[in-house]
Structure 1
Amino acid sequence: MNLISFNKLTILAVITFVIMSVLFFYGDVGFSYNDPLILWHLRFPKIIVAFFAGGMLASAGLLLQVFFHNPLAGPDLLGINAGASLGVALAIMGSAFFPAEFLVLTIPVMAFLGAMAIFILLMFLVRKNISKISLIILGLLISSFTASTVSVLVNFSTSLQVKNFLSWSMGTFKDVTLENLPIFVGLSMLSLVGLFFIPKKLNQFMIGENYAKSMGMNVKSFKLSLIIICSLLVSVVTAYCGPVVFIGVIAPHLARALMKKSDVRILLPTVFFFGSFLALSSELILVLVPVNFLSTNSLLGLIGAPIIALYLIRDQRRLQ
C-alpha cells in the first residue's frame, strides 16, 4: 500500500471513529454523563455492532463481486441474506424443538447453514458467465422462494414466535444486549480471520481461473473457502441484526472509487471501513432525525436503491 492509499484509508478510519464517538455521547434520550445504563447498556453495544456488521457485510459484498465477476453481486441482491433469514425463521419458529439456553447459538448456526445453502445453489446455477441483470433476477427469485417458505412457516407458528421473527426481520443494530455482545464480537472476529489469508489468492482469482491455476492455486479449494468465509460473514450479521440491505453492494464501489485501484490487499480494509461508515452513518441520521417510522433498513434502502439504479443506467449507456 503506497502513502496516498494509506492516507486515504487513515482519513476514512478517523471519520468512522469520530462518528462512533458522536453516537456514544449524543442521542435522542437525555442523560447525565455518568449514567452507565444509557452509555454502556444501550449505546455502546449498538455502536460496536454497527461497526462490525457494516464492515462484515461490505467485505462479503467485495468477495461476492470477485467470486461471480459481477459488480452488482451482494448478500441481499443474490438472496444470500434471504437464505440466512430462512435459517433464522426455522430457528425462531421452531424454537420449541431447541433448548432455550442454546437458542442464542442455534440462530447463528441456522443462519450460516441457510446462507451457505443459497451460496452453493448459486454456484451450481451460475456455471457460465451470465449478465448482471440475470444474476440479480436469479437472486430475486431465490428471495421470493425463501419469503414464500417463511409465509408457510408462519401458519404453523404461535403468535409469539411470529412477533419475534417480525421484530428481527426489520433489521437493526440495537437488538444485541451488553450481555450478548461478547458472543457477537467473538463470532465476528472468527468470521473475519479468514480475510487475512486470501488477498493474494483473491487477486489471482480476479484475473481469471486459468491464471489462478497456472499460479498453482487449487481453485476448487479456494472457492470452497470463499463460500465458507462469505457465509460466516453474512450469517453472523443476519442472525443478530436481521437482513440489513445494500451495504454489501454499495461499499465495494465506494472503496474502488476512493482508492482507484483493484488490488484486494488495499480494497479489503477500505471496504470494511466504508461498510462501517455506512452503518454508523445510518444510525447517526436516525438519531439526528428521530422519526418513528424510519428504520435502519428503510434508510439504507432509500440511499442504496437510487445508487444501484444509477449504476445500471450508466452501465447500459456504456454498452450502447
Structure 2
Amino acid sequence: MAGVVALALISVLVGPPLLSLSGMAEAVASVGATDAWVVFWQLRVPRAVVAVIAGGGLGVVGLLMQDVFRNPLAGPDLLGAGPGAALAMALTVVTGVGGAFVVGPLVTFAGALGGSLIVLQFSSRQRDPVRFAVVGAAVSAGLTALTIAVISVGSPMATDLLFRYLLGILAGRTWTMALPVFIGAGVLAVCVVPLARAVSVVRSGERFAASVGIRPRRVVIEVVVVSSLMTATVVSCCGPIPFVALLAPFLTRRSLRREHTSSLVWPTAVTGALLLLIADIVGRLSTYPQEAPVGVCVAVLGGPALLLLLRGLRAGRSPAVEPI
C-alpha cells in the first residue's frame, strides 16, 4: 500500500505542466482557483485516483475469473468483456445516443456482458487453457473488427475521439468522468468477499462445492456479471486497459506463493493499482512533453508476459481448464 501512495504522489507531480512539491503545497493550502489548484485538484488527483481504482478493480476481476475457470489466461481481455465494451462504446459515440458519458456505462456493460457470454458459449467444451485462450482471442478479434467498422462510418470528430479512447487514456479524466469507475468499484467491493469465498470452494471441485450448498454455475454467472460491470465502467471512462487483469493475479501469486482466492484479493488489487500507475508515469515521462497512452504502455509490458505464460502452459506446468 505504501508503494501505491508513493506512486500516486509521483503521478500527481509529473507530466506537463510539472508540479513541484511547493506547488502541490500551494494547491492544497489555497482556497481559490489558482493555476496550481486547478492542475492539482482538477487534473492530477482525479487521474491518480482513477488509475488506482481502475487498476485495482481490473486486477481483482482477473483473479476471480482465473480462479473460477481454473485457467490462468481467463480475464476480461480474452473473455470478450473488454472488446465487447469497446464495441458498445464506439456505437454510443458514433450514434450520439445520449452522449458518451450519460448512457455510456450502461451500454458498455451490455457490451461487456454480451462479449463474455459469446466467448463462454464457444469455449464451453475447451479444457486446454491454450485453446480456451485461442477461442477468446478469436472472438475478441471479431469484436475489435466490428469496432473498427463502426468507427469507419463515424464523423471525423467521433473517429478522433474513439481513436484516442481505444488506445487507453487517463489524461483529462475529471471527477465527473470518473464517476462510473467509482460505481463499478463500489459494487465490486461489496461483492468481492463473498464471491472470493465461493470461488475458493468452487476451485476445490464441483462435488465439494455442491456438498456445502454452493452452485458452481451460479458462481460463474455472478463472477462474469460483476467482472463485466467493472470492466465496462473502466472502458467507459478510460477506454480499454489491457493485460492488467492478466498480470496482477499472476505477479501476486508469484510473489506471495499463495493459491487461496480470498487471501489474494487485496494484494492483487494493490498489484493492479501499481501496474497502472507505473504505466501511466512511464507514458508521461517517456515522450515528454507529449504523452503515450496508458493502454499502449501496459500492452508493451503485458505482451511479453503473456508469451511467457503461454510458454509455461505449453510446457505443461499449469492445470487444464475445467469449464463449469
Instruction: Give deviations 1:194-214, integer Å, cap 9, x for gaps.
Output: 112212211101112222112
Amino acid at match of 1:180: M
Number of the residue aligned with 1:39: 40
Contact 1:251 1:271 in 2 (8 A): yes
- Local SS of the residue matching 1:262: coil
Number of the residue aligned with 1:169: 166
Instruction: Give deviations 1:64-110, integer Å, cap 9, x for gaps.
Output: 11222111122213332101111111111111xx234xx42311111
1:305 to 289, 303, 306: 303
Number of the residue aligned with 2:5: 17
Number of the residue aligned with 2:33: none
Q: Distance in 2 between matches of 1:165 and 1:152?
A: 12
Q: Which one is further off, 226-235 or 46-55? A: 226-235
Contact 2:181 2:230 in 1 (8 A): no
Instruction: Give deviations 1:12-42, integer Å, cap 9, x for gaps.
Output: x111111112222344423433210111111
Deviation at 1:150, TM superposition (A): 2.1
- Measured on the aligned residues, the alpha-carbon RMSD in Å equals 1.9
Contact 2:168 2:240 in 1 (8 A): yes
Q: Distance in 2 between matches of 1:254 and 1:28?
A: 31
Instruction: Give deviations 1:172-191, integer Å, cap 9, x for gaps.
Output: 12242133334532342123
Deviation at 1:317, TM superposition (A): 3.3
Number of the residue aligned with 1:69: 70
What is the TM-score normalised by the length of structure 2? Answer: 0.87
Number of the residue aligned with 1:9: none
The 3 A distance-change label for structure 1 pair 110 and 21 is same
Amino acid at match of 1:16: V
Q: Is residue 99 from structure 1 mapped to residue 87 from structure 2 by the alignment?
A: no
Contact 1:41 1:177 in 2 (8 A): yes
Contact 2:54 2:234 in 1 (8 A): yes
The 3 A distance-change label for structure 1 pair 260 and 88 is same
Q: Is residue 221 from structure 1 mapped to residue 242 from structure 2 by the alignment?
A: no
Q: Distance in 2 between matches of 1:27 and 1:159?
A: 28
Matches of residues 1-320 of structure 1 in structure 2 within 5 Å?
A: 13-31=1-19, 32-33=23-24, 34=26, 35-95=36-96, 98-100=97-99, 103-291=100-288, 292=290, 294-318=292-316
Deviation at 1:247, TM superposition (A): 0.6
What is the TM-score normalised by the length of structure 1? Answer: 0.88
Instruction: Give deviations 1:219-254, integer Å, cap 9, x for gaps.
Output: 332222112111111111111111111111111011
Unaligned runs of 5+ in 1: 1-12
Unaligned runs of 5+ in 2: 27-35, 318-324
The 3 A distance-change label for structure 1 pair 303 and 154 is closer
Number of aligned positions between the proteins = 303
- Local SS of the residue matching 1:180: helix
Q: Distance in 2 between matches of 1:251 and 1:184?
A: 18
The 3 A distance-change label for structure 1 pair 91 and 191 is farther
Contact 2:209 2:216 in 1 (8 A): yes
Contact 2:112 2:232 in 1 (8 A): yes
The 3 A distance-change label for structure 1 pair 269 and 48 is same
Q: Distance in 1 between matches of 2:160 and 2:121?
A: 35
Amino acid at match of 2:47: K
The 3 A distance-change label for structure 1 pair 297 and 265 is same
Q: Distance in 1 between matches of 2:220 and 2:44?
A: 38
Deviation at 1:270, TM superposition (A): 0.9
Contact 2:177 2:237 in 1 (8 A): no
